[in-house]
Amino acid sequence: MMESLVHVCLAGISAGMFIWLVASGLTLIFGVLRVLNFAHGSFYMLGAYLCYTCLKFLGIDFWLGVIVGPLAVCVVGYVMERYLLRQVYDLELPYQLLLTFAVVLIADELVKIIWGAGSIGSPTVPGLAGSVQIVGRNFPVYNIFIMVIGPLVALALWALLEKSWWGRIIRAAASDREMAAAIGVRVPSLYTGVFVFGAWLSALGGALAVPYVGLLTTGMGEAVIINAFVVVVIGGLGSLKGAFLGALFIGLLNSFGTRFIPALDMFLTFILMGVVLLWRPQGFFAGVDR
């Protein structure tokens, strides 16, 4: 029983780290641009497929794929912000949601056209392929690596936002975009930068997920975006700290749910979100205030 609990925890934490990578970009983009980007999961999916393509068809190293794939997604993010989202900033929220949802559908279809509708078996990572014994059971080394990467990204993001001038400018623009413009911040470029950066984070999650998920499917973006949305809502819109803790929590909840009450597996996240919203509608860490 004890071993089982430990492993359910470990599985939950590693799953949570992927949700975190997606949720971090999602919440950052919301905090600054005030856009809820449904297509954020598509960046995750594209990151995974592009990374996979790099190693499968271009024959390059997995680690190089983790760098190249997300960078390619940055280009997609740039085009999306610059030529699509920018048209709807001044319109009501439903237009943003419709637009980003349209991007989800387009991305899914494109992936089907390019890579085919079927699933692709994903490769293992040289160097991190084995597993280690933890309390009497095997645990993949790669998952341990993911459990290290997640907090490292969190730390790096924290340092970037709190300690760098780029981060301070982002925080200033998030709290008052008009005043930021009045002191000379080029707000449209800042928006593009933040959006591209958020897309990169999500795509990095996708690329790192390639050896983890075992299968790449066009639905993988949607699966992760739903969890990420729940995380961002319960953590507090725009709060990175909330997103990190929320992702850990959802990861663990899913893991325990699957193990102990499989019948309620899908519902648990939403029950939790409902409860949190009733109890603390602003989330646990109310984000960047206007």
Interacting positions 147-166 with another protein (CB under 8 A): 165
The C-alpha angle 47, 28, 179, rounded to 5 degrees, equals 140
As a whole number of angstroms, the distance between CA 30 and CA 225 comes to 14
The C-alpha angle 253, 103, 290, rounded to 5 degrees, equals 65
Interacting positions 17-56 with another protein (CB under 8 A): none
Q: Which of 64, 93, 148, 179 binds another protein (CB under 8 A)?
A: 179
Q: Which of 116, 168, 214, 274 binds another protein (CB under 8 A)?
A: 168
Does residue 64 belong to the site contacting another protein (CB under 8 A)? no
Least Å distance, CB 180 to another protein, is: 8
Q: And the tokens for 123? A: 């490769």
Query: DSSP states of 217-250 as a string?
Result: -TTHHHHHHHHHHHHHHHH-TT-HHHHHHHHHHH
Residues 6+ apart with CB under 8 A from 215: 119, 120, 121, 122
In contact, 97 and 30? CB cutoff 8 Å? no
Does residue 289 belong to the site contacting another protein (CB under 8 A)? yes
Q: Which of 56, 171, 241, 259 binds another protein (CB under 8 A)?
A: 171
Does residue 237 belong to the site contacting another protein (CB under 8 A)? no
Least Å distance, CB 51 to another protein, is: 35
Segment interacting with another protein, rule: CB under 8 A, options 151-159, 170-178, 210-218, 258-266: 170-178
- Residues contributing to the site for another protein (CB under 8 A): 165, 168-169, 171-172, 174-176, 178-187, 288-289
